[in-house]
Structure 1
Amino acid sequence: MKIEWKGIMPAVTTKFTSDDELDLPMFKVNLQAQLDAGVHGIVLGGTLGEASTLTDSEKRTLTQETVAFVDGKIPVLINVAEQSTKKAIEAAQFAKEDGASGLMVLPPMRYKSGDRETVEYFKAIANSTSLPIMIYNNPVDYKIEVTLDMFEELLKCPNIQAVKESTRDISNVTRIKNRFGDRLKILTGVDTIALESLLMGADGWVAGLVCAFPAETVAIYELQKAGRIQEAIAIYRWFLPLLELDINPKLVQNIKLAEVATGIGTEQVRAPRLPLFGDERTHVLSVIEKGMQTRPIVPDYKNL
């Protein structure tokens, strides 16, 4: 399935049972909520999806089940976050076999690769597959920045088509547009500057709190796209305290608690993560409760 690099693409959480197995029924409850809200793609096995704790078999199951469930309505991307080039190429091959429409690719895990090593890593993956690729550029969390000069080299690979822009520098959206035009599509990856990034020209948003609040997230995107900026801002202002739960080391636990509040998820995480407790839990629940109490009624954004 061809990917249009635009719109809202949830980085979905992975659901687990109390026995630490994949909870596919609840996973599909959440997927249905995303489809009902009108999201434009699904990203599996990212940080929010607890990628580092998933086995290869579980990743393949999630891909296969999601592809079957969405049934061609929207593209399905699987995250590639590996320690070696060999394993990353294998993951890309599995993704193709399992029906994924594309890949989101992180730099090498654990080893802090240099610029040349990082470029060669991404190129090796791109040259091993026909799947379109979105590079995840998040130097804040992963300590490796993909610079514009590095993208100049990477874009020689025709299937490297997009960037998940998470440098937290909104002006980088303009720098990318000035340098590459539409050759490199931009999906903002930081919830707390998402609307600002869209207004500056980002093509889409790989979102986190969408996992709990899909309609509100898609409404922000569609309203700003239609030029109804003040309506988008109003929802975004309500949303911001919740969006801040995403830029936190406990983002998985935070967002899963929000999914519980909206009835489309559970709190189960995989160790070493543990559910929140004490003051931390109390604070997050208070943010979620206030958001639920003041939750806006969104306009009919699907028919703008």
Structure 2
Amino acid sequence: MVNIRSLDPSASPLDYYGSELRRLREEAGLSQPQLGKILYCTGSLVGQIETAKKVPTRRFSEQLDAALMTGGLFSRLVGLVLKSQLPTWFQPYAEMESRAAYISTYQSQLVYGLLQTDEYARAVLSVENPGQVEEMVAARLERQRILEREHPPVLCVVLDEAALYRGIGGAEVMRNQLAHLLSFRDHPWVQVQVLPFDAGQHPGLLGSFNLLRFEDDPDILYSESYESGRMTANSQVIREVSVSYARLQASALSRETSAALIRRVMKERYGHQPGPAVA
């Protein structure tokens, strides 16, 4: 069935995307099923995206640009669409994160969002957002694109050892997630360290936090509570947390020893069989 619904392009990035898709499809003289055939998807999917009932993926957008010869219009729009799917309270942080030159994070429970696999992210996000999982996973993966830029931010991650043992999504999901962490072992701009259980009491006991540093703007501290996030640029707070983070890094295992621990947990807890990708 053809999906036709009046859209207000100014209502949201998703509505604007849908209205542009409909306009350019009709200009090309294509029906929804005809365009779907070109894109190797159903006409129903095209209609759902046109009517803002479904969020487009980046892959769909790139295929759409090629099919309608739009000069990359939808590949540019999809970034705005996916960012709009993030919780409203989180969007200001995501915008600052995308502009940061240096990101330092301590994670006490979970793998940091920029280093999560799609399966791991899906398992995490399904706990509180079962009806919006696919949209939020796509938005989280979109955030990760900053690591693929020509000049990516420097990312330093201190990950509590507990996150390696928390079986998010089951054994296979965890194997893939830990393998993904190992893939950053030799990355020039990403450093992953594990804070071991035997570190005892440490400055991160109050919870996870992120420090963002910029080329020309003040540093920012970000922390979360249930369904809310807090950012501050207070210089004294930044000074104190910076010292705490330096102590966390000093207490954490080295990059190489952290990789060895991750590999051991993969084998002993999740049945990992060593292979060339993570050897």
Higher relative contact order (CA 8 A, sep 6+): 1
Q: With the length of structure 2 as denominator, give the TM-score of the two structures.
A: 0.29
Please, what TM-score do these two structures have when normalized by structure 1? 0.27
Higher-Rg structure is 2
